[in-house]
Amino acid sequence: MKTLGRLISRLDTFMASAAFAEEGEFDTAREILRDANSQNERTAKRVERDQAPRRVVQNARSK
């Protein structure tokens, strides 16, 4: 369900950006996309960091 929520959120961001771009507000559209991209990068880093302890535990169990 998280994936569907993220997909809907990204679609909402893209549609908002497209609406501003259609009206000629290109800087605002770019800013919306830039902000969304920075949030996605932070989320990706958090996910990578959260999975690191799991790998350690899995490696310890396999030995």
pLDDT value of position 19: 96
User: 62 pLDDT band (50/70/90 cuts)?
Assistant: low
pLDDT, one tens digit per residue, over 13-46 is 999 999 999 999 999 999 999 998 888 776 666 6
CA distances (Å), 46 to each of 6, 13, 18, 27, in order?
Answer: 15, 21, 28, 29
E strand spans, the chain: none
Whole-model pTM: value is: 0.59
Q: What are phi and psi of 25, to 5 degrees?
A: -90, 70
pLDDT value of position 37: 86
pLDDT value of position 44: 64
